[in-house]
A and B are shown apart, each in its own frame.
Chain A
Amino acid sequence: MVGADFVIKSLIAEGVDTIFGYPGGASIPFHDRLIDYPQMKHLMPRNEQGASLAADAYFRMTGRPGVCLSTSGPGATNLITGIANAYMDSVGMIVLTCQVPTTVIGSDAFQEIDITGMTLPIVKHSYVVTDAKDIPRIIKEAFYIASTGRKGPVHIDLPKDVLSAVVGDFIYPNSVNIPGYRIKKEVSKDELGDLINLIKESSNPIVIAGHGLVLSEASNEFKAFIEKTNLPVVSTLLGLGALEQKHSQSLGMLGMHGLSHANFAVHYADLIISMGSRFDDRITGKLSEFSSNAKIVHLDIDPAEINKNLKIDLPLVGDCKQVLNQLLNVLKEEDFNFKYEAWWKKIENWEKESKEKTQKFLSKSSNALTAKDVIHAIYEETDGEAVIVSDVGQHQMWIAQHYPCQKPNKILTSGGLGTMGYSLPAAIGAKVADPKADIWAVMGDGGFQMNIQELGMIMEYDIPIKIIVLNNSFLGMVRQWQELFHDKNYASTEMINPNFTKIVDAYNIETHKVETNEAMIAMIKQIKNYDKAVFVECLIEKEESVFPMVPPGKSLAETMITQD
C-alpha cells in the first residue's frame, strides 16, 4: 500500500462516494490507485473550477462535504474560485491538491505553485502532508473541521512522493484532538429569557431567516417557533425555503432585490431577530440607516459575525437548531398570545400597495418572453418540486423573487461570492449527489459560457439535467446598473454570442430554442419528465430590469418598487 491508498481509504471511512477530480503529473500516483476502489466514483470535469463548484453543490444537496481533487500548479489554481465560493457561503468541502515532490517544493519546479499560500484567506484550515503516516489523522481532522461549527472548505496538499510512499497498515482514528477548535452550540437560560422578554416587549418584531437555519437543518424547529410567536419572517437569498415560502407568515426575500413590503417591515421594525444570517450588505442597504429604531438580536454559530457590521443588542452564539430547541422548551411553558394585529395590518397594506403599483407597471410593458414567465412555468409544471440551480445575475434575483421554495435547498446558488458559471457544474454535482432530485440548471447567456465546457461532463456521464439558458444577449445585471446609474453606457455588456444550439448539439445533448411564452410553456411541459439531458435556449426580453431594487447607498426604506 502507498500514501494514495491511505487517502482513498480515509475518504471511504468518511462516507465519501464521489470525487470530482482532474488528473495531472502530480496526481498520477493517486489516480493509479483508484482502480482498486470501484466503490469510489471519480468524475472528471473539463476545468477544475467545474470540480470545485460540483463539490459545492454536492454538499448543499447532502449535508456532507463535497470532495474535489486537482493536480499541482494550474490545476490547483483553477480550483480557487470554487474554494472561495464555498468559503463565502459556509459550504463544507474537502479540497485535495496534488503537489510536486517534497524534495523540490520551493524550487519553482514544473507545475509547482504555493497553493496553500494562496488559499490561506479562503479556507477554514489547510495541511501540507509531509509524511504519509499522517494522512488518516489529517483527513479525519479535515472532515471534522469542514463539517462542524461554521462549515467551510479545508485544503489538503499532497506531494507526489508522499502519495507514492510505501506505508504500513491502515488504521483510521476514532476521534480528533484539536484543542484550538471549540464550538459553542447552546445559549444560557438568561439569554433565552432576554430574548423572550424582547419579543414580548416589542410591537413590530420581525425575524430574518438566513442560511444558518438551512445549514443547521432547523426548518421544523424554526416553523414551530414562528407559529408559536406569530412573528413575520423575511429571508435572505440563501435562507429561502428554511420556512416554506407559501406559509402565511413568510414575507419573502429582503434586501437589494427583495420584496418591498419585506424591506419596509425590516426598516420599521422595533425588534429584529436574525437567525443564521450575517447582515450582509445585499440585505442591509445603507448600514447607518438600517433599522435605526430596532433592537437587534443576532443568533449565529460564528462569534466573529457578532457586531461585525451592526451593533447587536442581544448576541446569541450557538447552533440554530439547538438554540431553537432550547427556545421551544421554554416557550412551551409560556402563554404566548401576541398577535401583533396592528403590525400585520401595516405589512399587509404595504404588500397591497406594492402589488397595485407593480400591476400598473406590468400592464405597460411588452409581450416578449421574460425570465419570470420561464420561472413560473417551471414552478407550475413541476409543482415546485424542481431544484433550480441558478447562476448569477438578473435571472438569479427573479428566481429568488418568483420561485417559492417549499423546502430548503430548492434554489442552489452562489450568494456571497456571486460566481458566474456556478449553475452548470453545480447542477451536475447536485444531480450526482441526489439522482432522484429533479435538477434544472437556469442561467444567463453570460454565465453559461463561463463553464460551458462542463457540457462534456454531462455528455460523458449521461447526467439527466435540464439546462435552461435565458438569453438576452446582455450581461444583464451590469447592464441594469449602467442603465439606471450610468446613462445607459453599455460598456462591455453587450454579449456577442455563438450559435448555442450547434455547440450543445456537438455534445450529443438534445437542444431546443423558444421565443414565445406559448412555445416555452409547451417545451417545459414536454421536457419535464425527461430522463436524459436536455437544453432549452429561451430568447427573452433584452432590456428588462429587476425590481424592486434598493439603489446602492440607499436604505431599505428607499426601495424602488418599479422603474418610475
Chain B
Amino acid sequence: MNEKSNKPTIIIAARNEPGVLGRILALCKRRQFNIDSLTAGRTNISGISHITIVFEDDLNHHIDHVILQINKLIDVIEIKKINMNDSINRELVIFVLKNQSLANKMIEDMEGKAYIKKLEGNEIVVELLAEESVIELLIQTLNMKGDVLKMIRSGVIVV
C-alpha cells in the first residue's frame, strides 16, 4: 500500500464561474490542508468543471467538515470523497532524463504507458500516462538527483 492512496481525495463538479476555485481553496486553507495536487477542467456539460483535489494528509481529521463546507458553496454542484485505490484515475508525468538507458528501462517497465517524446543531445523527454499508484511506485525506484533533470506531474484526474 503506497502513501498517496492514504491521502484524502475529493472530486467536485462546479459551475465554471470566475473565482470558484478561489472559494474552494480558501475553505481548504482555513483548516490548514496542504494540497498535493489539483486539477480542474471542462466536462461534457457546458459550464460545468470537474475538479480533483488530493490533500497531503488529514492530521486533524477535518476532511468531512471541509467537504460539507465546500458543498455549501453556491457554485459547487456536487462533491465526493474518493478512495483512490477504488477509482478510475490517470495522471500525466513528463520526465527529462539524463541517460538513454534509464529512459529505455522506464519504457520497458511501464509496459506501453510511457513514450519517448524527444531526444536532444543527452536529454531525453519521456512522457508517462498512468494510474497514480503506478506512478508512485515508479518514482520510488528513481534516483532523482542522479538521473532526473526534471519531473513535472500534472496532478491526477479522478472520475
Contact = CB atoms under 8 A, between A and B. Distances in A.
Interface string B3-36: 0000000000011001100110011001000000
B74 A178 contact: yes
Contacts of B138: none
Contact of A180 (B18, B19, B26, B75): B75
Contacts of B14: 180
A145 interface: yes
Interface stretch (A24-32, A300-308, A466-474): A300-308
Interface stretch (B51-59, B63-71, B90-98): B63-71
Given A145-B74, A180-B73, A180-B77, A308 B18 contact: no
A120 B22 contact: yes
B157 interface: no
A278 B26 CA distance: 22
Contacts of B23: 120
A179 B15 contact: yes
Contacts of B15: 179-180
Contacts of A116: 19
A125 B65 contact: no
A126 B26 CA distance: 14
A246 B68 CA distance: 38
A83 to B, nearest CB: 15
Given A116-B19, A179-B15, A121 B26 contact: yes
A307 B77 contact: no
B18 A128 contact: yes
B65 A181 contact: no
Nearest to A308: B65
B118 interface: no
A304 B73 CA distance: 11
Nearest to B69: A304
B72 interface: yes
B103 interface: no
B65 A304 contact: yes
B76 interface: yes
Nearest to B75: A180
A276 B65 CA distance: 18
A423 B132 CA distance: 56
B26 A181 contact: no
Given A120-B22, A120-B23, A128-B18, A180 B76 contact: yes
A124 B18 contact: no
Nearest to B15: A180
A329 B69 CA distance: 32
A302 B74 contact: no
Interface residues of B, number: 20
Interface in A138-153: 145
A19 to B, nearest CB: 24
A307 B68 CA distance: 11
A47 B19 CA distance: 29
**Contact-residue size bin, chain A (C-beta under 8 Å from the other chain):** 10 to 19
Interface in B86-140: none
Contacts of B73: 125, 180
A63 B52 CA distance: 39
Nearest to B48: A179
Contact of B74 (A120, A125, A128, A307): A125
Contacts of A302: 72
Nearest to B72: A304
Contacts of B65: 304, 307-308
Contacts, number: 40
Interface in A271-313: 302-304, 306-308
Contacts of A117: 22
A463 to B, nearest CB: 36
A126 B20 CA distance: 10
Interface in A62-117: 116-117
Given A120-B23, A180-B14, A304 B68 contact: yes
Nearest to B66: A304
Contacts of B22: 117, 120
Contacts of B18: 128
Interface string A180-199: 11000000000000000000
A539 B132 CA distance: 70
A121 B26 CA distance: 7
B26 A179 contact: no
A303 B27 CA distance: 16
Contacts of A304: 65, 68-69, 71-72
A121 B68 contact: no
A220 B30 CA distance: 39
A306 B69 CA distance: 11
Contacts of A145: 74
A308 B65 CA distance: 6
B77 to A, nearest CB: 5
Nearest to A181: B74
B137 to A, nearest CB: 36
Contact of B68 (A126, A181, A303): A303
A180 B20 CA distance: 12
Nearest to A117: B22
Nearest to A306: B68
A501 to B, nearest CB: 45
A544 B103 CA distance: 78
Given A179-B15, A180-B14, A124 B74 contact: yes
Given A120-B23, A179-B77, A307 B64 contact: yes
A121 B30 contact: yes
Contacts of A125: 73-75
Contacts of A180: 14-15, 73-77
Most buried by B among A128, A179, A306: A179
Nearest to A180: B77
Contacts of A178: 74
Contacts of B69: 304
A98 to B, nearest CB: 19
Nearest to A302: B72
Interface of B: 14-15, 18-19, 22-23, 26-27, 30, 64-65, 68-69, 71-77
Given A116-B19, A180-B14, 5 more contacts: A128-B19, A180-B75, A302-B72, A303-B68, A304-B65
24 contacts: A116-B19, A117-B22, A120-B23, A120-B26, A121-B27, A124-B74, A125-B73, A125-B75, A128-B18, A145-B74, A178-B74, A179-B15, A180-B15, A180-B75, A181-B74, A302-B72, A303-B68, A304-B65, A304-B69, A304-B71, A304-B72, A307-B64, A307-B65, A308-B65
